[in-house]
Amino acid sequence: MIKEENITEVKTIYHKFCDDCGKEISTYNRTCVCCKKDLCQKCVGHEENDGGDYSDYYCSSCWTKGEPYREKIKELEQQIETLNDEWLSECRS
């Protein structure tokens, strides 16, 4: 004997929204690397692409807060480059 059984399947659908403006976000993920907010394209304060597969995204707030740190990092990178040049020069003389 064959009996028919009706099964009702409950499916949960998740929607992602921008943590800054509340707009629904498409499946493409933009998350601030500092505060981990989900961002829509309009709320991305800065996008940094280092040539890899994925860009780094920053919300406007985190990008603004990072200004003094980025300046200091740039200065230190220049110092490192100068020290490396001095070291190589010392070895070659």
- 85 inside domain: yes
CATH code of the domain in which 21 resides: 3.30.40
**Reduced DSSP (H G I as helix, E B as strand, rest coil) percent helix, strand, coil of the chain, to 5:** 40, 15, 45
Per-residue pLDDT, 8: 82
**Residue-level pLDDT at 13:** 86
Q: Is residue 50 part of a domain?
A: yes
Q: 66: which 2 tokens?
A: 């990072």
Amino acid at 78: Q
pTM above 0.75, yes or no: no
| Count of the separate structural domains present in the chain | 1
pLDDT digits (tens, 9 = 90+) for 43-86: 999 999 888 888 999 999 999 999 999 999 999 999 999 999 99
Q: Could you tell me the residue range of the domain that residue 84 belongs to?
A: 16-92
DSSP, collapsed to helix, strand or coil, labels residue 16 as: strand
56 found inside a domain: yes
pLDDT band at 1 (very low <50, low <70, confident <90, very high): low
Residue 1 placed within a domain: no
